[in-house]
Amino acid sequence: MSQTLKAVRGTRDLLPPETALWNRIEATARSVFARYNFGEIRTPVFEDTSLFARGVGEETDIVSKEMYTWEDRARAQSEKTQTLTLRPENTAGVVRAYIEHGLGESGQLQKLYYIGPQFRRERPQKGRYRQFSQIGAEVIGPPSAGSESPLRDAEVLEMLATLLDELGITGWTLHLNSVGSAADRARYNDTLRAALAPVVGQMCVDCQRRAETNPLRVLDCKVPADQPIIDTLPVIADSLDEASKAHFAAVTAALDAASVPYTRNHRLVRGLDYYTRTTFEFTHGGLGAQNALLGGGRYDGLSEMIGGPKAPGIGFAMGEDRLVLTLLAQETALAQKADAFIAPLGEEMNAAALNLARELRHQGLWVELGEGSFRLKKSFEAADKTARQIVILGEDELKSGILTVKNFSTGIQTKVPRAELAVFLSN
């Protein structure tokens, strides 16, 4: 016997009714993005590997161990064998497209959003998958378009607060920090390296390696025993130059003016190499270990890193899977049922029932159609599982035009004229 095939580890099928929640999240995101004047971009799911190596950074966990990469063999003399990668994130692809299509040449800010799958070979666990979906947005453009302005950072953060509120996600925390310019970070790395030298021997092996290669990453360490040591390390705020300090102060002043609450988190340096100045994360207590709903920041040098013009920008990526988990834990998101179940009495009523269902559906109702060969008891059981109300359609009802409706939550049975049925059922 052949072995049963299953979805690959770290991937999942999304089924109804949960997919209704995914659709609601995406519809809400599209609606908020449109009001903030963002347009949608759809980039390919795979790209040249070097885009991520250069854009995300060779040193990052994503590039060094999590990417799905393969040799794509040439199929014709005119083709070259290429090394391709399933996208682990979407910012690099968006910036590549910005450069490729010369979007900066308009002189306008580009405000782009995307929704789609990303791929990382991580250890699967709750809220962490190998294929997952991100909803993200980028604001990018030439400096003359105001792309470096702290107002853009504040606008993006205020939009995120609005989106989470409209999704009905309550109790989030915005963690905010600045990692400064490339020069600030180089200076801070030196300061950290010096501060780590006497203590790093007591830290985990990963930290010992990071202290050599990229001391900033030590701040990401989650090993409990290392935490008291990390708490004593110098903070990046003290290594920022005047321009970076002023930029950050302007971001926080605009957030205060817009009443968006945040906490300064000196350890928030984020896992991707391209960030400059503002970095942020929104967390939620209901998620357990994988508590980040979304992360993002400013990436003023990214376009140049992948061969483009100077194009500062800021963006974020939300983990859609984690939005779903949060909403599932917090509300009866999936408790929705159809407005009505039409139960034909006998097979000869099937065609009339199909016609009644069509009438109600055209009037905007959510309707399930039963089956006339079912006994009435079986129709009631099926209806109770899928709908709020059942409508009985027998020969008498068809002739008189008066239908019997039972509401399952009140238990009340009512006679309703056919002309008033849609209004009655929608209440």
Indicate the residue among 324 and 340 with the shorter CB distance to ligand ATP. Answer: 324
Q: By C-beta, is 87 or 96 nearer to ligand ATP?
A: 87
Output the smallest distance, CB 91 to ligand ATP, in A: 9
Q: Is 266 exposed, middle or buried (0-12, 13-18, 19+ CB in 10 A)?
A: middle
Nearer to ligand ATP, 87 or 322 (CB): 322
Query: Residues in the site for ligand ATP, rule: CB under 6 A?
Result: 89, 120, 122, 127-129, 132, 134, 271, 290, 292-295, 317, 319, 321-322
Instruction: Tokens for 422, please give them.
Output: 């849609």
Q: Give the nearer residue to ligand ATP in terms of CB position, either 149 or 283.
A: 283
CB of 11 to ligand ATP, least distance (A): 11
Point out the residue whose Cβ comes nearest to ligand ATP: 319
Closest distance to ligand ATP from the beta carbon of 271 (Å): 4
Let me know how long the chain is. Answer: 427
**CA dihedral angle for residue 58, residue 64, residue 67, residue 72, rounded to 10 degrees:** 70
Alpha-carbon separation of residue 371 from 273, 304, 378, 385 (angstroms): 60, 64, 10, 15
Pair type for strands 131-140 and 313-319: antiparallel
Whole-number minimum distance, CB 76 to ligand ATP, in Å?
36
CB of 96 or CB of 130, closer to ligand ATP? 130
**Closer Cβ to ligand ATP, 290 or 407, answer by number:** 290
C-alpha–C-alpha distance, residues 233 and 355, integer Å: 73
Smallest gap from residue 79 Cβ to ligand ATP (A): 32
Nearer to ligand ATP, 142 or 315 (CB): 315
Q: Which is nearer to ligand ATP, 185 or 270 (CB)?
A: 270
Cross-strand pairs, 48 = 84
Minimum distance, C-beta of residue 127 to ligand ATP, in the bound complex (Å): 6
Please state the closest distance from residue 78 (CB atom) to ligand ATP, in A. 36
C-alpha to C-alpha distance for 80 and 191, rounded to whole angstroms: 45
Of 220 and 384, CB closest to ligand ATP = 220
User: Cβ 261 to ligand ATP, closest distance in Å?
Assistant: 19
- Decide whether 92 or 145 has the Cβ nearer to ligand ATP: 92
CA–CA separation, 195 and 182 (whole Å)? 20
- Please, what is the minimum distance in Å from the beta carbon of residue 344 to ligand ATP? 45
- The least distance separating ligand ATP from the CB of residue 319, rounded to whole angstroms, comes to 2
CB 357, CB 367: distance < 8 Å: yes
